[in-house]
């Protein structure tokens, strides 16, 4: 597969679209399956909503908790209390006029503190005694409590437990369904499909269960460690599916209502006006008396948590001691339960941890009485799926067509809408829509597309590196990669410093090598020279056989480019000394003669045009202009003047700290004006020596005599210059060449001498 197919061309690369579309399709498929992990993710989001905006309890609702708290336990002893004490508590509440007393307690065993029970455990010698007969004649504690329950509107509790063996709880209600004759046969199937089945139960003993007006399940946490949904109806293994069992909360509401028949009416979606697109989507609500209890499709009420509220709780001790005003209890549904830590009836809710389990039942009744429900409607899943498909497809289509910044704004906008709208629906209408999966999918589409765009950018960077790593230094290449706008490849005029180098006597040198040997020699020469140029932030223009063309300050700006170029030239000459030692040692070892390798370097600074030049078939990044040509001519004059490096006047002005010596005024080929040329002798350290300053002074005197036509005096001055050059360490053949030229001028005695030398060679 080619990279062009993967990334495409123009503004519509294929890969981001294909990958983003694949992400979308997989996300839609996963949402249709809706595994438990996604359900838990939604639950966590809805928990966060409730922590941000818990249910408000504006008015005092007629629901309280009679708390078997630490104070009550300290007063009446550890739990379980004797049933006579519990009976006294029930009588106190009945006298206060409560509407319902619901026990979040299961009295599954007889009271062991009853005197009848104790009589059976007396020693053998006391069995036939008046004491035992008196103990057996006294009322049984469970019977005493049963009598108290019979006089009160009590709802006893039972629990579901897989190990429970006490049999099915007593049923005090009927269950009807909103199905006509046509749908009646479907009810058992719907019940088995949507209402959770329990495998065992633990119920209160017969004497208490038979005395109560209602019987409800205290089980709340049937799904996880956090109580979020509480089933209102259960079915029990071994019983008919139609024999449903209510939760303690909804059973308390049933008993509290006087007048309506004691029947639960289950409204199934798809029956008698409940629109569900023809699908069996479960339960819509449960009608109990005059109240409609809104549930999810499994008959569960979503706990809309208000958080723990101290005002719900009344200590059982205060009730027993008559400290609670009657008007605080009259007409109330009260739950008897415990907040004592030692009794371990603690649960986790969406807003808090370690909440007394009895408070969950109380909150559910508050929701029923105030008709305050959180609902995830039947159409929620379909709506989310359609939204995800539509917006996701828009993302896929927009991704390759918008810039990165524009797409980021679109992504933030749509993801923000996907988070904000569900919260608004929760806060304003108490509807639950998924705020995580659709936005997370959109984020995944954006990230996947961005990742492909990043890969494409990396490909472009590699292309940039490939195009310039043979011409620019590594630091310059990285600068271009980080900011391609630094390149001005369309052509521009700027000041640059140009270098030309050439090997002296290359023809003679090449004759001693075969083709393979010549290739090795050139590589050993060009590689270190190239490294020095690139290391000085230069740009390699081209190799021309044994020659190198390079320039500075393009395509990237290089501060003090003339300084960098001069330093590179000096380093190249120094490196060549090392290479000559290596080549000489190798030639001696092989019994061959060594031909020293020398190079001439020409440097010039000035305005030039830089950019891509060439044809439609081939382009090269190069520079053009008179100043470029002058640099080439200066390199050619190195042989004429017998020096290693010649720089133009413009370059000399920009490197005042370097050791430079003016050589001559030259009219080079192709120029109509003479150029003042200089030899680059050394660095700033050499320039500061007294010996070099003396050399510069001697050279200046020589040039004055030479240019004014005082050739005899100039010839004599050369000897002093040679001595000064030797003292300064400048071992060049320049003065030999000038001696020969001055001798010729003495012989010619030109009458039109202007002090300008007209170059005879390029």
Question: For residue range 433-475, what is the model confidence (pLDDT) as tens digits?
Answer: 999 998 998 888 888 777 766 666 666 666 656 655 555 556 5
- State the pLDDT at residue 181: 45
Q: How far is CA 261 from CA 265, 266, 369, in A?
A: 11, 14, 18
DSSP string, 20-35: HHHHHHHHHHHHHH--
DSSP code of 673? Answer: S
Task: Please determine, for residue 231, whether its predicted confidence score (pLDDT) is greater than 90.
Answer: yes
Would you call 615 exposed, middle or buried from its count of C-beta atoms within 10 A (0-12, 13-18, 19+)?
exposed
β-strands 619-624, 645-648: how paired?
unpaired
E strands present in 297-442: 300-302, 313-315, 333-337, 346-347, 355-356
- State the pLDDT at residue 8: 42
Neighbours of 130 (CB within 10 A): 8
Task: Please determine, for residue 682, whether its predicted confidence score (pLDDT) is greater than 50.
Answer: yes
Between CA 701 and CA 380 the distance in angstroms is: 99
Region 301-309 average pLDDT: 94
Between CA 333 and CA 329 the distance in angstroms is: 8
Place of tokens 């197919």: 5
Between CA 187 and CA 281 the distance in angstroms is: 13
Q: Which two tokens stand for residue 466?
A: 């490939």
**Nearest-CA neighbor of 205 among 111, 139, 337, 89?**
111
Mean per-residue pLDDT over the chain, rounded: 86
Q: Which two tokens stand for residue 609?
A: 């045009």
Q: Taken in order 357, 361, 364, 370, is the CA torsion positive or negative?
A: negative
Between CA 397 and CA 387 the distance in angstroms is: 15
Q: Are 364 and 303 in contact (CB under 8 A)?
A: yes
Q: What are phi and psi of 20, to 5 degrees?
A: -60, -40
Task: For residue range 133-190, list pLDDT tens digits in order.
Answer: 665 556 788 889 999 999 999 999 999 988 877 789 999 888 988 865 446 677 888 8
Region 658-667 average pLDDT: 96
- State the pLDDT at residue 210: 94
The residues facing 266 across adjacent strands are 177, 286
- State the pLDDT at residue 2: 39
β-strands 245-246, 263-268: how paired?
unpaired
Going by C-beta distance under 8 Å and a sequence separation of 6 or more, which residues neighbour residue 619?
612, 613
**Nearest-CA neighbor of 115 among 92, 89, 143, 90?**
143
Between CA 498 and CA 484 the distance in angstroms is: 23
DSSP code of 120? Answer: T
The two most distant CA atoms of the chain are separated, in Å, by 165
3-state DSSP assignment of residue 221: coil
Task: Please determine, for residue 399, whether its predicted confidence score (pLDDT) is greater than 80.
Answer: no
Q: Which two tokens stand for residue 688?
A: 């500061």
Between CA 118 and CA 77 the distance in angstroms is: 18
Q: Which two tokens stand for residue 582?
A: 């290596």
E strands present in 668-706: 675-682
Q: Which two tokens stand for residue 331?
A: 């007409």
3-state DSSP assignment of residue 270: coil
Q: What are phi and psi of 544, to 5 degrees?
A: -125, 85
Task: For residue range 589-598, list pLDDT tens digits in order.
Answer: 988 888 999 9
258 or 486: whose pLDDT is higher? 258
Going by C-beta distance under 8 Å and a sequence separation of 6 or more, which residues neighbour residue 484?
460, 464
- Place 293 in a pLDDT band, splitting at 50, 70 and 90: very high
**Nearest-CA neighbor of 696 among 759, 650, 652, 633?**
652
Q: Are 513 and 521 in contact (CB under 8 A)?
A: yes
Between CA 46 and CA 647 the distance in angstroms is: 77
381 or 620: whose pLDDT is higher? 381
Q: What are phi and psi of 660, to 5 degrees?
A: -125, 150
Neighbours of 543 (CB within 10 A): 15
**What phi-psi label fits residue 230: left (phi over 0), alpha (psi between -120 and 50 degrees) or beta?**
beta
- Place 621 in a pLDDT band, splitting at 50, 70 and 90: confident
Neighbours of 489 (CB within 10 A): 13
Would you call 240 exposed, middle or buried from its count of C-beta atoms within 10 A (0-12, 13-18, 19+)?
exposed
Between CA 636 and CA 633 the distance in angstroms is: 5
- Does a cis peptide bond (omega within 30 degrees of 0) precede residue 290? no
Q: What are phi and psi of 439, to 5 degrees?
A: -60, -40
**What phi-psi label fits residue 430: left (phi over 0), alpha (psi between -120 and 50 degrees) or beta?**
left
Task: Please determine, for residue 400, whether its predicted confidence score (pLDDT) is greater than 80.
Answer: no
Task: Please determine, for residue 481, whether its predicted confidence score (pLDDT) is greater than 70.
Answer: no
Between CA 630 and CA 669 the distance in angstroms is: 9
Task: Please determine, for residue 389, whether its predicted confidence score (pLDDT) is greater than 80.
Answer: yes
Q: Taken in order 644, 650, 655, 659, is the CA torsion positive or negative?
A: positive
Q: Which two tokens stand for residue 43?
A: 């639950």
Task: For residue range 423-438, list pLDDT tens digits in order.
Answer: 999 999 999 999 999 8
Q: Which two tokens stand for residue 68?
A: 């078997």
Task: For residue range 743-758, list pLDDT tens digits in order.
Answer: 999 988 888 899 999 9
- State the pLDDT at residue 279: 58
Q: Are 27 and 439 in contact (CB under 8 A)?
A: no
Place of tokens 């329950």: 149
The angle, 0 to 180 degrees and rounded to 10, between the axes of the packed helices 83-95 and 141-150 is 20
DSSP string, 617-661: S-EEEEEESHHHHHHHHHHHHHHHHT-SEEEEHHHHHH-TTSEEE
Q: Which helix (H) or strand (E) holds 502?
A: strand 492-504
- Place 275 in a pLDDT band, splitting at 50, 70 and 90: very low
Neighbours of 60 (CB within 10 A): 10
Q: How far is CA 158 from CA 169, 201, 762, in A?
A: 7, 7, 112
**Residues recorded for the chain:** 762
DSSP code of 196? Answer: P
- State the pLDDT at residue 224: 67
Task: Please determine, for residue 85, whether its predicted confidence score (pLDDT) is greater than 90.
Answer: yes
- State the pLDDT at residue 506: 86
3-state DSSP assignment of residue 749: coil
Between CA 361 and CA 104 the distance in angstroms is: 8
Task: Please determine, for residue 15, whether its predicted confidence score (pLDDT) is greater than 90.
Answer: no
Q: What are phi and psi of 433, to 5 degrees?
A: -120, 145
- State the pLDDT at residue 173: 86
**Nearest-CA neighbor of 111 among 137, 74, 81, 68?**
81
Task: Please determine, for residue 660, whether its predicted confidence score (pLDDT) is greater than 90.
Answer: yes
Fold of 471-612: Alpha-Beta Plaits (3.30.70)
Place of tokens 């005694």: 129
Spans of all domains in the chain: 3-52+378-464, 63-370, 471-612, 656-762
Would you call 598 exposed, middle or buried from its count of C-beta atoms within 10 A (0-12, 13-18, 19+)?
middle
Terminal CA-to-CA distance of the chain, rounded, Å? 53
**Nearest-CA neighbor of 208 among 108, 333, 296?**
108
């Amino acid at each position: 597969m080619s990279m062009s197919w993967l990334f495409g061309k123009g503004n519509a690369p294929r890969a981001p679209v294909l990958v983003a579309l694949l992400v979308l399709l997989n996300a839609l498929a996963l949402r249709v399956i809706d595994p438990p992990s996604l359900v838990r993710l939604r639950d966590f989001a809805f928990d966060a909503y409730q922590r941000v905006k818990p249910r408000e309890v504006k008015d005092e609702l007629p629901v309280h908790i009679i708390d078997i708290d630490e104070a009550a336990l300290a007063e009446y002893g550890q739990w379980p209390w004797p049933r006579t004490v519990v009976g006294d508590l029930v009588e106190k509440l009945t006298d206060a006029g409560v509407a319902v007393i619901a026990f979040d307690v299961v009295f599954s065993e007889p009271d062991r503190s009853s005197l009848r029970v104790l009589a059976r455990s007396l020693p053998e010698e006391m069995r036939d005694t008046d004491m035992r007969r008196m103990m057996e004649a006294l009322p049984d504690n469970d019977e005493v409590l049963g009598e108290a329950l019979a006089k009160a509107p009590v709802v006893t509790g039972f629990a579901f437990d897989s190990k429970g063996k006490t049999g099915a709880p007593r049923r005090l209600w009927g269950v009807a369904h909103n199905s006509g004759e046509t749908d009646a046969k479907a009810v058992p199937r719907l019940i088995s499909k949507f209402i959770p089945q329990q495998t065992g139960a633990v119920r209160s003993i017969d004497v208490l269960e038979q005395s109560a007006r209602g019987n409800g399940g205290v089980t709340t946490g049937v799904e996880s460690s956090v109580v979020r949904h509480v089933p209102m109806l259960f079915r029990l293994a071994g019983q008919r599916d139609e024999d449903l069992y209510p939760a303690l909360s909804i059973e308390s509401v049933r008993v509290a209502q006087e007048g309506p028949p004691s029947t639960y009416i289950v409204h199934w979606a798809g029956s008698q006006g409940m629109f569900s697109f023809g699908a069996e989507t479960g339960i819509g609500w449960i009608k109990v008396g005059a109240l409609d209890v809104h549930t999810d499709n499994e008959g569960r009420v979503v706990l809309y948590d208000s958080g723990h509220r101290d005002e719900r709780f009344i200590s059982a001790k205060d009730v027993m001691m008559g400290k609670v005003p009657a008007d605080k209890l009259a007409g109330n549904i009260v739950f008897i339960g415990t907040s004592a830590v030692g009794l371990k009836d603690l649960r986790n809710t969406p807003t808090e941890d370690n909440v007394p389990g009895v408070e969950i039942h109380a909150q559910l009744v508050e929701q029923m009485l105030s008709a305050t429900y959180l609902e995830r409607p039947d159409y929620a899943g379909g709506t989310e799926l359609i939204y995800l498909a539509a917006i996701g497809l828009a993302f896929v289509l927009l991704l390759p067509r918008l810039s990165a910044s524009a797409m980021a704004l679109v992504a933030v906008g749509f993801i923000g809408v996907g988070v904000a709208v569900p919260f608004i629906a929760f806060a304003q209408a108490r509807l639950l829509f998924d705020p995580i999966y659709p936005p997370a999918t959109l984020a995944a589409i954006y990230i996947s597309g961005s990742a492909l765009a990043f890969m494409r950018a990396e490909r472009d960077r590699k292309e940039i590196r490939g195009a310039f790593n043979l011409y620019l230094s590594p630091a310059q290449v990285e600068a271009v990669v980080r900011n391609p706008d630094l390149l001005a490849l369309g052509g521009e005029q700027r000041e640059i410093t140009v270098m030309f180098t050439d090997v002296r006597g290359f023809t003679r040198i090449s004759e001693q090598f075969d083709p393979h040997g010549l290739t090795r020699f050139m590589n050993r020469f060009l590689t270190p020279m190239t490294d020095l140029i690139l290391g000085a932030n230069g740009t390699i223009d081209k190799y021309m056989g044994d020659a190198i063309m390079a320039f500075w300050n393009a395509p990237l700006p290089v501060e003090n480019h003339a300084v960098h170029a001069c330093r590179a030239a000096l380093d190249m000459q120094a490196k060549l000394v090392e290479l000559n030692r290596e080549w000489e040692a190798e030639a001696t070892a092989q019994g061959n003669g060594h031909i020293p390798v020398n190079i001439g370097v020409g440097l010039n600074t000035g305005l030039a045009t830089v950019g891509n030049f060439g044809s439609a078939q081939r382009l090269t990044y190069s520079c053009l202009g008179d100043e470029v040509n002058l640099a080439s001519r200066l390199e050619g004059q190195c042989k004429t003047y017998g020096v290693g490096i010649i720089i133009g006047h413009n370059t000399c002005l920009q490197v005042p700290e370097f050791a430079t010596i003016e050589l001559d005024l030259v009219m080079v080929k192709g120029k109509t004006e003479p150029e003042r040329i200089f030899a680059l002798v050394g660095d700033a350290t050499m320039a500061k020596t007294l010996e070099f300053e003396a050399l510069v002074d001697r050279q200046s005197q020589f040039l004055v005599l030479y240019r004014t036509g005082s050739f005899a005096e100039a010839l004599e001055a050369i000897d002093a210059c040679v001595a000064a050059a030797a003292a300064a360490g400048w071992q060049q053949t320049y003065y030999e060449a000038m001696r020969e030229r001055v001798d010729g001028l003495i012989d010619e005695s030109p009458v039109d001498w202007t002090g300008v030398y007209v170059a005879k060679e390029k």
